[in-house]
Amino acid sequence: MNNNIPFMKFRKIAAIASIVLFSLSVLSLSFKGLSLGLDFSGGTLIEVTYEEAVELEEIRNILIENDFDDSQVVNFGSNLDVLIKVADQNGNSSIGESIFNLLEDNGFKGELKRVEFVGPQVGSELRDQGGLGMLVALFMILMYVAFRFQYKFALGAVTALGHDVVIILGFFSLFSWDFDLTVLAALLAVIGYSLNDTIVVSDRIRENFRSERVLVPQDLIDLSLNQTLGRTIVTSLTTLLVLFALFIFGGELIKGFSLALILGVMVGTYSSIYVVANMLMSLSITQEDLAVPEPEGADFDELP
């Protein structure tokens, strides 16, 4: 794909957009926080099967009328299976059967398939371990890219990954979307996806900096981004096709997972183009930074 798009011409606009989105995300996370799912907050999950399809809104109203305000009611698998999630009620592990009996008393006769209780202590441990795992992943990526390329690329890669993760979390915070273990798994997948795209772009930038001696750094980065643009677009579009199919037809249980990945692919594609390149430009990368060092004694070996 032969393009000549001046990406770096718009790098200041992109930087302002990234700073604004990042700042809004941090503010939302600081003051509003995340709407934690049962995996992290603790609570009870109840699965009930009915012989005929039931109105989920009626079940929601019954729960609200009986002081179960913080609850979710969705279909699971088919319209005959109903999944009810209720936030922690002071560690009450018997709440599942109480809700099932409450629904039966209101005319919803069905079969109780399972009740699962997650205590708040387990939820907090999952939250802490998940956050620690993400930080360790980012640190290991920093070490790998610094070893594989150069420290300026490492700073750009980790900045891009942090940018992606914080903005995705910001969306979940701002719109109060449910944040559970599946969304955390999606965030880790986004780190891998975005890193892969960043490595491809970084590798092409490095090769061009070593082979092209006439162009200035801004033109070299534009050249590299244009050379990898076709691959980036094809990869992102094919991934998004699958993710939108999951989001539309996959049901409620994986909607958060697919939504986080959709946001991650779009933000990650943007960051691999603009955030990484912006960081390299800000750190004043030059051909000398990426020059291949000559082996010690090379001059002596060439003597007759």
One domain, residues 131 and 102? no
Mean pLDDT of all residues in 22-44: 83
Nearest 5°: phi and psi at 83? -110, 125
One domain, residues 215 and 103? no
* pLDDT at 273 (0 to 100): 85
One domain, residues 183 and 267? yes
One domain, residues 185 and 254? yes
Phi-psi region of 297 (alpha: psi -120 to 50; beta: other; left: phi over 0): left
Average pLDDT of every residue of the chain: 80
In a domain, 92, yes or no: yes
Q: Which pLDDT band, with edges at 50, 70 and 90, does 300 fall under?
A: very low
Strand order of the sheet with strand 78-87?
Answer: 71-76, 78-87, 43-49, 111-118
Handedness of CA 195, 197, 198, 200 (dihedral sign): positive
One domain, residues 27 and 144? yes
The answer to whether 251 and 76 have CB atoms below 8 angstroms apart is yes
Last residue of a domain, one of 118, 135, 159: 118
Phi-psi region of 284 (alpha: psi -120 to 50; beta: other; left: phi over 0): left
In a domain, 141, yes or no: yes
Give the structural domain span for 47. Answer: 43-118
Greater pLDDT, 258 or 281? 258
Mean pLDDT of all residues in 1-15: 80
One domain, residues 96 and 139? no
One domain, residues 167 and 23? yes
d(CA 84, CA 60): 9
Last residue of a domain, one of 118, 150, 172: 118
Range in 121-130, 163-172, 219-228 the model is least confident about: 121-130
One domain, residues 160 and 202? yes
One domain, residues 135 and 276? yes
Q: Which pLDDT band, with edges at 50, 70 and 90, does 182 fall under?
A: confident
- Total count of domains within the chain: 2
Last residue of a domain, one of 118, 142, 171: 118
Task: Residue 70: give its domain's CATH number.
Answer: 3.30.70.250
267 pLDDT above the threshold of 80: yes
Say which amino acid occupies 301.
Answer: D
Mean pLDDT of all residues in 220-242: 88
One domain, residues 30 and 64? no
